[in-house]
């Protein structure tokens, strides 16, 4: 092995050692930050009951699509996810979900 190749191999080995040491320092710093932040975590939020019941009008303000049953399985899943998203935002009860979503079913659905 000539001098250049020996120097190059040694330089690469030194670089690997420095990269590993740097990664360990970064990992330790991240662990210290996480440890410091643990006690600061926000307390769980209290669930506040709605002041009035959710109405069909509230649901329809979100302009949900009607469902005719002439859709692909993916379109049906997308429609269902849209309805679930609206009901989740409005915090609908199970009875309200059933009422509101069945209202959107058209003809053969």
CA torsion sign for 84, 78, 56, 101 is negative
The per-residue pLDDT for 72 is: 87
The pLDDT assigned to 38 comes to: 67
Distance CA 100, CA 83 (A): 9
Q: How far apart are CA 36 and CA 39, in angstroms?
A: 7
CA dist., res. 37 & res. 35, Å (int): 6
Q: How confident is the model at residue 60 (pLDDT cuts 50, 70, 90)?
A: very high
Which residues lie closer than 8 Å to 86 by C-beta, 6 or more apart? 59, 62, 64, 100
What is the tens place of the pLDDT at every residue in 67-103?
888 888 888 899 999 999 999 999 999 999 999 999 9
């Amino acid at each position: 092995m000539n001098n250049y190749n020996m120097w190059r191999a040694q330089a690469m080995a030194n670089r690997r050692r420095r990269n590993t040491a740097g990664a360990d320092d970064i990992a330790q710093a991240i662990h210290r930050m996480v440890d410091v932040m643990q006690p600061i975590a926000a307390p769980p939020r209290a669930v506040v009951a709605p002041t009035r019941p959710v109405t069909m009008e509230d649901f329809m303000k979100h302009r949900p699509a009607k469902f005719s049953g002439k859709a692909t399985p993916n379109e049906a899943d997308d429609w269902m996810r849209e309805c679930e998203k609206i009901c989740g935002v409005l915090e609908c009860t199970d009875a309200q979900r059933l009422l509101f979503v069945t209202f959107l079913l058209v003809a053969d659905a």
